[in-house]
Amino acid sequence: MDIAAFINRWESSAAAERANYQLFLSELCDILDVPRPEPSVAGSVANHYVFERAVTIRHPNGDSTIGRIDLYKRGCFVLEAKQGSNAEPAASTLFDPPKRRGAGFESLWRTMDSGGFSPILREHVLQFNGGLFETVEALPLNAAQFERLCQAAKFEWKDVEPAIFGTLLERALDPGERHKLGARYTPRAYIRPSETPRP
């Protein structure tokens, strides 16, 4: 099968990831002229390039569950199949349903408070000091609100005057909490002299 035939074969597929993804990825391997995944065997140590690789997920409360990686190749990648050609955009399906979405943000913020590996971002996150993430509670957002948030995140914000964000942050915090955190925006004019090298 050539690339054109492969695209034609799959572009009309429905968004049935569990039914289609293994066949799709196997045929993609053929197109790319790389080996297909291998059969799974008992014990995860030997499963270095397989579909549905078992992983242990450890939860903050101490519980653990077994999850599955759709396609795993040790030392190279993990792949999570999410959609067919007619599925919703990724931004609207991220952390769906809404309860899971909120839990995903709260998990990320807890990691930002302590620093460490984030299962949400799948990478190491530095610690954010100042106590901003000591208490985490994600506001409930419906799909439309979440989509607007994602769109806002794509804008270029670097040319916006920082004082605007500083003022918004100060006014959003309770006065007592603001004092506790020392959250007071320092105007640029006060910072500039300290940035100037001294002879």
pLDDT value at position 186? 60
pLDDT value at position 34? 92
Which stretches in the chain have pLDDT values below 70? 14-18, 44, 83-101, 177-199
Give the separation between CA 156 and CA 34, rounded to whole angstroms: 39
Ranges assigned E (strand) in 85-139? 116-118, 123-125
Cα angle for residues 6, 20, 118 (degrees, 5° grid):
110
Q: 63: phi > 0 → left, psi -120 to 50 → alpha, else beta; which? A: beta
Give the separation between CA 87 and CA 7, rounded to whole angstroms: 17
Q: Hey, where are the domains in the chain?
A: 1-86, 88-155, 162-194
Q: b/e map of 54-75 (b: 16 or more CB within 10 Å)?
A: eeeeeeeeeeeeeeebbbbbee
pLDDT value at position 90? 39
The DSSP 8-state label assigned to residue 78 in this structure reads E
pLDDT in tens, 48-84: 899 988 888 888 888 888 888 889 888 888 888 776 5
